[in-house]
Amino acid sequence: MAPRAPTDTWNLWHQDHIDPLVQRLIETFVICRGVDPNRVYLMGYSAGGDGVFQLGPRMADRFAAVAMMAGHPNETQPTGLRNLPFALFMGADDSAYNRNEKAAEWRDELKRLRSNDPGGYPHMVKIYPDTGHWMKRRDREALPWMKRYVRVTWPKQIEWLQDDVIHDRFYWLGVDRKDGIPRSRVSARISGQTIHLRAEDVPEVKLRLSDALLDLDLPVVVKSESRVLFKGRVDRTIEAIRESLAERADPVAAATAVLTVPLAAGKDGR
């Protein structure tokens, strides 16, 4: 998928209908053209690159890999890219709107994130010297790089940072849409049968579970810091599957069990 611009407006990638449109496109091509849902790739140039900066972190759970060419990130941050390979290409002389400076900032931030979390944030950044907004097709190296990857559908660790377009589902995490606010955050990690949660400005989290994550025949423990939020069996149900598929026509990512746990809102997640 290589979008150029969804709307002829200044805020073209910051409108609520954009992400559902992209999701519907993915579903349509999976159903009607036989596309593998675990091999959907996103790339965009200039204004399309702006879109990759936005859609990548917001919709990381839909793509196998993404590539941004000559765009501007605006307010978005790379936090949500923990499980999504992200390639960034920029001309060193592409100074309009400080694109080249922003690319360098993202390069440094992605490197920092990867250093702090070696199991996450796969990325490639190329800032080509003596090149402006047109990179003379040097960025074509994105294609073989992206092709190496398939979607991580059930990651053991998630970093979810809401942007200005709110989502109620991200991988196997969910929140009530009314509770979704820009910059609210949920971090989740699974070790064995224990789910560790940390949240900022999120009162309640819905866990969409599967045997791809943990053994649902055994008890599950959910913790926030040292506090146990839940301990026990979580039953597989037809309703959980039905609910997942009603939200998103993505059978590979459909939950078989659902558990909602309360979290105290606040910066310390406790």
User: pLDDT, tens digit, for every residue of 59-115?
Assistant: 999 999 999 999 999 999 999 999 999 999 999 999 999 999 999 999 999 999 999
Give the pLDDT of residue 133. Answer: 97
| Domain total of the chain | 2
The CATH number for 86's domain is 3.40.50.1820
For the chain, what is the mean pLDDT?
A: 94
Q: Are residues 192 and 243 in the same domain?
A: yes
- pLDDT of 181 > 50? The answer is yes
- pLDDT of 270 > 60? The answer is no
Q: Are residues 178 and 115 in the same domain?
A: no
Q: Are residues 139 and 162 in the same domain?
A: no
Q: Are residues 31 and 106 in the same domain?
A: yes
pLDDT per residue as tens digits for the range 215-258: 999 999 999 988 999 999 999 999 999 999 999 999 999 999 99
Q: Are residues 170 and 234 in the same domain?
A: yes
pLDDT per residue as tens digits for the range 132-153: 999 999 999 999 999 999 999 9
Strands of the 227-232 sheet, one edge to the other: 157-161, 185-191, 194-200, 220-224, 227-232
- Domain limit, last residue, from 128, 147, 166: 147
Provide the residue range defining the domain that includes 140: 18-147
Q: Are residues 81 and 103 in the same domain?
A: yes
Residues 6+ apart with CB under 8 A from 98: 72
Would 28 be classed as within a structural domain?
Answer: yes
Give the pLDDT of residue 177. Answer: 85
- Domain limit, last residue, from 147, 176, 203: 147
Would 6 be classed as within a structural domain?
Answer: no
Q: Are residues 30 and 126 in the same domain?
A: yes
Q: Are residues 127 and 217 in the same domain?
A: no
What number is the average pLDDT over the span 151-167? 96
Q: Are residues 45 and 139 in the same domain?
A: yes
Would 1 be classed as within a structural domain?
Answer: no
Q: Are residues 141 and 168 in the same domain?
A: no
Q: pTM for the whole thing?
A: 0.93
Give the pLDDT of residue 264. Answer: 63
What number is the average pLDDT over the span 34-41? 96
Q: Are residues 168 and 61 in the same domain?
A: no
- pLDDT of 160 > 70? The answer is yes
- Domain limit, last residue, from 147, 179, 206: 147
